[in-house]
Amino acid sequence: MIIQGRTVRQDLRETVDVCVIGSGAGGAVAAKELAQAGLSVAVLEAGENHDPTTFSRYTPEMLLRLFWDGGMRTTHDGSVLISQGRHVGGSTVHNLCYTVRTPDPILERWEAEFGTQDLSPSDLSPSLDRVEATLGVNQIREAQVNRLNQIIRRGCHAMGWRGLVQRHNRAACPDCSADCVLGCPVSQPGIGKQSMAVSYIPQALEAGARLYTDCLTEGIVAENGRVVGATARFRSGDMLLPEQAKPKPSSSENSAGKRGRETYRLTVRSSAVVLAAGAINSPQLWLSSRLPDPGKQVGRNLHLHPAIFIGGIFDEEVDAYQGIPQSFYVDHFLDLARNPDSGYILMPAFGPMPLVAASMPSFGRAHRDLMRSYRNAAGVLVLLHDQSPGRVKVNRRGNPVIRYRLNRTDKASLVEGLIHGAQLLFAAGAKQVTLPYTRGGVLKSESDLEVIRQRGVVENEILIASSHPQGTLRMGSDSRRTVVDSYGSAHTVDGLFVADASLFPTSIGVPPMLTIAAMADRIARRMAANWPP
């Protein structure tokens, strides 16, 4: 059953076995597994339940509909733009479907450094298998590799690097040339992008879970060291807008006793809470709820997979917006067996014209001239396996404050990645290469590559983006260094579990969706097998 928050006209109360906060890669899987185990489940989702057929190609509209803060969430200094989904299905609705298994060296590192248990590659494999089967993960066929990905592969092979066509959670894709990053308009079971919204969530509902949408969780309630539920408020239309876009209230609305719009609340009583709101909002909820944090680890150890776009302008028409956006990537520089602590991926990158425009350098006529080559452009994203530890805190209003600064090692790795990305594009036949510096940033030939090393990576002088926040409630055996154990159970609060990317002890280095879902699968199954908590 789905209860749409914007239609609610009274305060509501709910009593269930488990309250799941978030419906993305972690929350949806946990809800389905727990409901199918016979437990009563309520899922609280801050965003809407969108009908995919209503997804448009109008970028401003879709940013407001699909992303936290209208796609404008950033670190505290504005240096990193962070994309996070806010709707049923979470970021799986707008991501580009890479389904990459957790690298063995990462799992081995977690065991060696953080004492994780039952998380060897063979231990995690059954959960990965189940998730892949539910999402219909399959190998991208050669006929589905579009011009953009063919060009990136051409450059990769010309450089003699390692790269592969990847697997996707995408079924019977009709090659509609829609802007996949703004949601799949044909998504449904067995067709198009198999997000959590069309796979796990329907199965959770069929098993009896109740889904509350437009429902912003405000606190986790604990009594005597044990969670007893959560509190939330239903969001009106204005509440769904980013803060800067909300209309100012009239004087009458501000006056005592004259609220312009009623706020209705949901109170959930439960024996357990699964926190799966993402690596920004999960620690925010923990902190704003004033739950125990004796080791002062909640919100720390944030990793972002910071990424920088490199554009290539070709004589040939690329029409990179047509077909599946990402099917191939270069992992030549991510040698986790040799160095599990660093490296980067080069992956194809493109999108709607407004997003590409934001990734092009300069202003005015110079920028206009570059955008006139939109149909001849191809892009590469340098996605960094970062070491830099960030932090999520909360301000006086309880909103998240994201602090993150790249350390010297990560900046050097990004510079190297930018140089290699530019080399790849030139090797593929680009006549010029662009980097998203605020001024300048156009390279005419490989002889200009030294400019990248000279300018480096300086915050707020080059556009840095992130779609993979992780690590703010990390798991491990030592409660002084970690927040939850290897099955997501909080060290300091009974009945509280974490089932999203927050629990990663380090950066994972690869697209994280499949790992998040597999972690949620094993956590939920463990909860059900050991019920009550």
* Helices (H), ranges, 429-477: 450-455
Within this chain, do residues 317 and 276 fall inside the same structural domain, yes or no? no
Structure tokens at 101: 């298994």
- Give the DSSP letter of residue 311: E
- Domain ends where: 466, 489, 522? 466
The span from the CA of 31 to the CA of 40, in Å, is: 9
CATH value at residue 7: 3.50.50.60
161 and 62 share one domain? no
Residue (of 313, 317, 282) closest to 300 by Cα position: 282
Residue 178's pLDDT is: 64
Question: What's the confidence (pLDDT) of residue 246?
Answer: 54
Q: Which regions of the chain are under pLDDT 50? A: 251-260
Domain-embedded: residue 174: no
**Are 390 and 532 in the same domain?**
no
Same domain, 297 and 377: no
* Domain around 212: 1-74+82-97+100-136+179-303+470-533
Residues 338 and 248 in one domain: no
User: Any residues with CB less than 8 A from the CB of 363 and at least 6 apart, and which?
Assistant: none
In angstroms, the CA 311 to CA 376 distance is 10
In 143-188 the beta strands, taken as DSSP E runs, fall at 163-165, 167-168, 170-171
Q: What is the pLDDT of residue 256?
A: 40
Q: Which residues contact 448 (CB under 8 A, 6 or more apart)?
A: none
First to last CA, the chain: 25
Residue 460 neighbours by CB distance under 10 Å: 11
| pLDDT given for residue 297 in this prediction | 98
pLDDT at 179: 77
Position 157 scores a pLDDT of 98
Tell which of 466, 498, 517 closes a domain: 466
Do 279 and 390 lie in one domain? The reply is: no
Same domain, 480 and 398: no
**203 and 265: one domain?**
yes
Give pLDDT, residue 245: 53
Q: In whole angstroms, give the CA distance from residue 400 to residue 397.
A: 9
Identify whether 173 is part of a domain: no
- Convert the pLDDT of each residue in 466-495 to its tens digit: 999 999 999 999 999 999 999 999 999 999
How many domains does the chain fold into? 2
- My answer on whether 371 and 479 are in the same domain is no
